[in-house]
Amino acid sequence: MPRIHLTVARTQAVDIPSQLRIGARVLQGQAHMQNGQLRFCHSSCALFDGGTVLDYLRKVKTFLDANPYEVFTFVFTNPGMNSVPGVWKPIFDQAGITPMAYVPPTRPMKRNDWPTLRELIDTNKRVIVFLDAGADGSAGGEVDFILPQFPMMWEDPFSPTDPNFPCKIDRTAGPLSNDDHLHLINHNLNRNIIPFGLGTVLVSDFVRAPQTNALSSIIAHANGCAPLSRGRAPNYVLLDYIDIGEGMKAVDRLNGF
């Protein structure tokens, strides 16, 4: 799976179908249980409620059905440790995505062992699902297609505030070497809205989004992380405000186009 994919982060100005039309092929979301429904919220559903996970997945399924040559990745977070077989899997079943989900032959799987995009398309296993917590069996048991993220994918620091995006491996786990992990860069600039010395509340910096999402900024970030992954480009680029800047141009460049 060598192709680099443009990823959507938690702060967007356009809806899911628009993000997909622009070119997002990875979606990231933080899920919380609210009134018996699993919903995508940022920190708290009182602060931001992105709707139910089921509705979200159904929108992606509609896109996948209409675009049979597209491959898609979900990178979801599970801070409440909701049951993977009891809560998460039934939602994927209801959305109709389960038959399309890729099941690796082994866990964890090395970066070089992943199938190519063509192989995923030919077998119609065009959805890859990662979960940051609980997919290792610690949240009610394992589900074969819901994969533990950090044993197979590392990230650099999330919620960065330095526009130079200095790179280091921030989250990883498991027996594989860092070189054998996929990797994702968090290219979304944040700012503290609390006066200095009074605390920290980070929000995505919308004002600087054109500079953050510029081709030069994204490429520089990717190049800064390359030495941590045998000189390779990231598999995923996480952006806020995908409709601003040159995200697709940057990903095309990283893919050699």
CATH number at residue 125: 3.20.20
pLDDT at 9 (0 to 100)? 43
93-103 burial: b if 16+ Cβ within 10 Å, else e: eebebbebbbe
d(CA 97, CA 102): 10
Number of domains observed in the structure of the chain: 1
pLDDT digits (tens, 9 = 90+) for 16-39: 999 999 999 999 988 988 888 998
pTM tops 0.85, yes or no: yes
Half-sphere exposure of 159 (CA within 13 A, CB side): 8
E-assigned strand segments in 188-250? 190-192, 202-204, 236-239
pLDDT digits (tens, 9 = 90+) for 59-88: 999 999 999 999 999 999 999 999 999 999
- Tell me what the pLDDT averaged over the chain comes to: 91
Question: Residue 43: which pLDDT band, with cuts at 50, 70 and 90?
Answer: low
pLDDT at 49 (0 to 100)? 61
Domain with 105, as residue range(s), is: 5-254
Half-sphere exposure of 246 (CA within 13 A, CB side): 13
Instruction: Report the percentage of the chain scoring pLDDT > 70.
Output: 91
Three-class SS of residue 182? strand
